[in-house]
Chain A
Amino acid sequence: MKRDIIVIGGGASGLAAAISVKKEGKDVLLIEREERLGGILNQCIHNGFGLEVFKEEYTGPEYADIYIEEFNQLNIDYLVNTTVIKFNKIKDEFVLYTSSLAKGIQKYNAKSIIISTGCYERTRGSIIIPGDRPTGVITAGSAQRYLNIDGYMVGKRVFILGSGDIGLIMARRMYLEGAEVLGVAELMPYSNGLTRNIVQCLNDFDIPLYLSHTVTKITSDENNRLKSIVLQKVDDRFKPIEGTQKTFEVDTLLLSIGLIPDIVLLDSLDVEYDKLTKSVKVNQALETQVEGLFVAGNALQVHDLADNVSKESERAGYNAAKYVDNPKRKHKTIKLLSGENISYISPQYIDFAWPESDVICSFRSKGKIEKGLIEVIQGENKVLSKRLMYIVPAEMETFSLKIESLNENEDIIINLEAIK
Chain B
Amino acid sequence: MYDFIIIGAGIIGSIIARELSKYQVKAIVLEKENDVANVQTLANSAIIHSGHNPEPNTLKAKFNVLGNKLYDELEKELNIPILHCGAFVVAHNKEEEEHLLELYENAKINNVPEFELLDYKKAVKSEPNLSKNTTKVLSLPTTKVTNPWEVAFACMENAMENGIEFQKNAEVTNIKYRDKHFIITINNQTKLESLAVINAAGVNSDDLAHMIEKDTPFYIRPRKGEYFVIDRRVKGFINHILYPLPTDAGKGVLLTPQVHGEILIGPNSLYIDDKYNKSVTFEGLDYVKKNAPALAENIPFDKIIHSFAGVRASSNIDDFYIGESKEYKRLYHLGGIDSPGLSAAPAIAKYLLEDIIKIKQSYNKKNNFNPYRKKRIEFHRLPLNEQLELIKQYPTYGNIICKCEKITEKEIVDAIHSKLGSDTIKGIKKRTRAGSGLCQGGYCEEKVMKIIARETSRSPLDTAYDSPKSKIFKAETKVEE
Q: Name the residue among B395, B398, B403, B472 with the largest chain A CB count within 10 angstroms.
A: B398
CB distance from A409 to the nearest CB of B (A): 33
> Are B443 and A153 in contact, CB atoms less than 8 angstroms apart?
no
CB distance from B230 to the nearest CB of A (A): 10
Chain B residues whose CB sits within 8 angstroms of the CB of A225 once the complex forms: 469-471
Q: Which of B229, B285, B302, B474 contacts A153 (CB 8 A)?
A: B474
A246 on the B face (CB < 8 A) = no
A404 on the B face (CB < 8 A) = no
> Are A133 and B278 in contact, CB atoms less than 8 angstroms apart?
yes
B359 on the A face (CB < 8 A) = no
Q: Known interface pairs A224-B467, A225-B470. Does A152 touch B477 (Cβ–Cβ under 8 Å)?
A: yes
* B438, closest chain A residue (CB): A264
A145 on the B face (CB < 8 A) = yes
A380 on the B face (CB < 8 A) = no
A156 on the B face (CB < 8 A) = yes
CA distance A98 to B262 in the complex (A): 25
B286-310 CB contacts (< 8 Å) to partner A: 302, 304-308
Nearest 8 Cβ contacts at the A-B interface? A125-B306, A83-B400, A223-B469, A152-B473, A101-B399, A104-B391, A123-B440, A135-B465
B365-421 CB contacts (< 8 Å) to partner A: 380, 384, 387-388, 391-392, 395-400, 403-404, 406, 408-409
Residue-wise, chain B 446-471 has the 8 Å CB interface mask toward A (1 for contact) of: 10000000000000110001110111
CA distance A420 to B94 in the complex (A): 60
CA distance A17 to B473 in the complex (A): 37
B188 on the A face (CB < 8 A) = no
> Are A154 and B474 in contact, CB atoms less than 8 angstroms apart?
yes
Residue-wise, chain A 152-191 has the 8 Å CB interface mask toward B (1 for contact) of: 1111100000000000000000000110000000000000
Interface secondary structure of A, over-half rule: mixed
A151 on the B face (CB < 8 A) = yes
Residue-wise, chain A 92-105 has the 8 Å CB interface mask toward B (1 for contact) of: 00000001111111
> Are A105 and B387 in contact, CB atoms less than 8 angstroms apart?
yes
Interface residues on A, range: 35 or more
CB distance from B404 to the nearest CB of A (A): 7
CB distance from B422 to the nearest CB of A (A): 16
Q: Known interface pairs A152-B461, A156-B474. Does A104 touch B467 (Cβ–Cβ under 8 Å)?
A: no
A245 on the B face (CB < 8 A) = no
Chain B residues whose CB sits within 8 angstroms of the CB of A87 once the complex forms: none
CA distance A275 to B301 in the complex (A): 13
A351 on the B face (CB < 8 A) = no
A128-155 CB contacts (< 8 Å) to partner B: 128-135, 139, 141-142, 145-147, 150-155
B445 on the A face (CB < 8 A) = yes
Chain A residues whose CB sits within 8 angstroms of the CB of B441 once the complex forms: 123
* B440, closest chain A residue (CB): A123
Q: Known interface pairs A153-B475, A223-B469. Does A83 touch B403 (Cβ–Cβ under 8 Å)?
A: yes
A81 on the B face (CB < 8 A) = yes
CA distance A33 to B408 in the complex (A): 13
CB distance from A143 to the nearest CB of B (A): 10
Q: Which of A100, A128, A133, A264 contacts B398 (CB 8 A)?
A: A100
Q: Which of B279, B305, B388, B400 contacts A130 (CB 8 A)?
A: B279
> Are B391 and A224 in contact, CB atoms less than 8 angstroms apart?
no
A107-136 CB contacts (< 8 Å) to partner B: 120-121, 123-126, 128-135
Chain B residues whose CB sits within 8 angstroms of the CB of A124 once the complex forms: 440
> Are B477 and A147 in contact, CB atoms less than 8 angstroms apart?
yes
Residue-wise, chain B 11-51 has the 8 Å CB interface mask toward A (1 for contact) of: 00000000000000000000000000000000000000000
CA distance A391 to B61 in the complex (A): 64
> Are B475 and A132 in contact, CB atoms less than 8 angstroms apart?
no
A314 on the B face (CB < 8 A) = no
CA distance A268 to B144 in the complex (A): 28
B124 on the A face (CB < 8 A) = no
CB distance from A66 to the nearest CB of B (A): 26
CA distance A318 to B469 in the complex (A): 53
A242 on the B face (CB < 8 A) = no
Residue-wise, chain B 201-240 has the 8 Å CB interface mask toward A (1 for contact) of: 0000000000000000000000000000100010000000
> Are A131 and B280 in contact, CB atoms less than 8 angstroms apart?
yes
Q: Name the residue among A135, A177, A218 with the largest chain B CB count within 10 angstroms.
A: A135
Chain B residues whose CB sits within 8 angstroms of the CB of A101 once the complex forms: 395-396, 398-399, 409
CB distance from B294 to the nearest CB of A (A): 21
CB distance from A100 to the nearest CB of B (A): 5
> Are A120 and B439 in contact, CB atoms less than 8 angstroms apart?
yes
A85 on the B face (CB < 8 A) = yes
Q: Known interface pairs A81-B399, A101-B399, A223-B467. Does A128 touch B282 (Cβ–Cβ under 8 Å)?
A: yes
CB distance from A208 to the nearest CB of B (A): 22
- Residues of A at the B interface (CB closer than 8 Å) are 33, 81, 83, 85, 99-105, 120-121, 123-126, 128-135, 139, 141-142, 145-147, 150-156, 177-178, 216, 218, 223-225, 251-252, 262, 264, 267, 275
Chain B residues whose CB sits within 8 angstroms of the CB of A147 once the complex forms: 477
CB distance from B123 to the nearest CB of A (A): 29
Chain B residues whose CB sits within 8 angstroms of the CB of A152 once the complex forms: 460-461, 472-473, 475-477
CA distance A6 to B474 in the complex (A): 41
CA distance A2 to B399 in the complex (A): 23
B133 on the A face (CB < 8 A) = no
> Are B400 and A99 in contact, CB atoms less than 8 angstroms apart?
yes
* B286, closest chain A residue (CB): A128
CA distance A79 to B280 in the complex (A): 43
Could you pull out 20 A-B pairs where Cβ atoms are within 8 angstroms? Answer: A99-B400, A100-B398, A104-B388, A104-B395, A104-B397, A121-B439, A124-B440, A125-B304, A128-B307, A129-B280, A130-B285, A131-B279, A135-B470, A150-B460, A152-B477, A153-B474, A154-B474, A156-B474, A178-B478, A264-B404
CA distance A177 to B445 in the complex (A): 22
CA distance A142 to B475 in the complex (A): 16
B51-79 CB contacts (< 8 Å) to partner A: none
Chain B residues whose CB sits within 8 angstroms of the CB of A153 once the complex forms: 473-477
Chain B residues whose CB sits within 8 angstroms of the CB of A262 once the complex forms: 439
CB distance from A1 to the nearest CB of B (A): 16
* B282, closest chain A residue (CB): A130
CA distance A114 to B334 in the complex (A): 59
CB distance from A109 to the nearest CB of B (A): 16
Q: Known interface pairs A135-B470, A152-B473, A177-B477. Does A105 touch B398 (Cβ–Cβ under 8 Å)?
A: yes
Q: Known interface pairs A33-B403, A151-B476, A152-B477. Does A120 touch B285 (Cβ–Cβ under 8 Å)?
A: no
Q: Which of A102, A123, A130, A177 contacts B439 (CB 8 A)?
A: A123
CB distance from B340 to the nearest CB of A (A): 26
Q: Known interface pairs A104-B391, A125-B305, A152-B460. Does A139 touch B442 (Cβ–Cβ under 8 Å)?
A: yes
Chain B residues whose CB sits within 8 angstroms of the CB of A142 once the complex forms: 442, 445-446
CA distance A156 to B478 in the complex (A): 12
> Are A105 and B477 in contact, CB atoms less than 8 angstroms apart?
no
B281 on the A face (CB < 8 A) = yes
* B388, closest chain A residue (CB): A105
Chain A residues whose CB sits within 8 angstroms of the CB of B460 once the complex forms: 150, 152
Chain A residues whose CB sits within 8 angstroms of the CB of B302 once the complex forms: 275
CA distance A267 to B233 in the complex (A): 8
Chain B residues whose CB sits within 8 angstroms of the CB of A224 once the complex forms: 465-467, 469-470
Chain A residues whose CB sits within 8 angstroms of the CB of B278 once the complex forms: 132-133
* A33, closest chain B residue (CB): B403
Q: Known interface pairs A99-B400, A101-B395. Does A130 touch B474 (Cβ–Cβ under 8 Å)?
A: no
CA distance A85 to B446 in the complex (A): 20
Seed contacts A123-B306, A130-B279; 4 additional CB < 8 Å A-B pairs: A33-B400, A135-B471, A152-B461, A218-B279
Chain B residues whose CB sits within 8 angstroms of the CB of A33 once the complex forms: 400, 403
Chain B residues whose CB sits within 8 angstroms of the CB of A178 once the complex forms: 478
CB distance from B148 to the nearest CB of A (A): 18
Q: Known interface pairs A104-B395, A142-B442. Does A156 touch B388 (Cβ–Cβ under 8 Å)?
A: no
